[in-house]
Amino acid sequence: MALHAGQRRMDALELIKKRRTIRKFQQRRIRQCVLEGCLEAARLAPSAMNLQPLEYILVTEQLERIFSCTRWAGYEKEAGPKPGEEPVAYIIILMNRSVSSDAAYDVGLAAENILLSALGAGIASCVLGALDRPKLAKAMGIPATHSIELAIALGYPKQRSVVEDGKDLKYRVDSKGIVHIPKRPLQSIVHNERF
């Protein structure tokens, strides 16, 4: 994927550190080649027994159909998008149940590849698991052989999100609209050699 003028390539750890959930987006279209790059990254993710049961729906036009099936920001209602801040694209991750009935690891790996690929192109994201799946399946014509695993909202960010060490794992939005995401400190979760 070609970089735009003024962009530089980020290494993997830098991307991971910068990847934060964003729930407010600029109303600016994402180039098709960037979205296709995200899907290519998902396609190349590891798959248990290489069964590759995942399929994807890319949505850039019928956005309200998806948005009406989502719930945003369980902890902090102000963190969700207001009119004019909605995503400008979605990738819906489906599992073809005729191929595999359990691909939870595949879903996570493919989703992370999408998120990092998007961020590498300056695109923010929000993983949505809180979905009205029956309504979404009907709206998108998804057959009963496929289950909706996740939706990923995409767009250029309209808010900032920062990581900080903390014991209280509840995220918050400050008076400037910055989302603060507490993460457990590394030394509190790593056990060397044995527990």
Answer whether residue 92 shows pLDDT above 90.
Answer: yes
Task: Encode pLDDT of 110-121 as tens digits.
Answer: 999 999 999 999
CA torsion sign for 35, 181, 158, 83 is positive
Task: Encode pLDDT of 59-78 as tens digits.
Answer: 999 999 999 999 986 656 66
Quick one: pLDDT band at residue 79, thresholds 50, 70, 90? Answer: low
Alpha-carbon distance values, 161 to 33, 124, 128, 164, 181 (Å):
26, 10, 17, 10, 7
β partners of residue 131: 70
Domains of the chain, residue spans: 12-159
Buried b (16+ CB within 10 A) or exposed e, 165-180: eeeeeebebeeeeebb
pTM of the entire predicted model: 0.87
Q: Architecture of 12-159 per CATH?
A: 3-Layer(aba) Sandwich (3.40)
Residues 6 or more apart whose Cβ sits within 8 Å of residue 25: 81, 85, 86, 87, 88, 124, 153, 154, 155, 156, 157, 158
**H helix or E strand, kind and range, residue 114:** helix 104-120
Mean pLDDT of the chain: 90
Alpha-carbon distance values, 2 to 10, 78, 112, 118, 144 (Å):
13, 36, 21, 13, 39
| Percentage above 70 pLDDT, the chain | 91
Both tokens assigned to 131: 């979905």
| Percentage above 90 pLDDT, the chain | 68
Answer whether residue 10 shows pLDDT above 80.
Answer: no
Q: Is 108 helix (H, G, I), strand (E, B) or coil?
A: helix
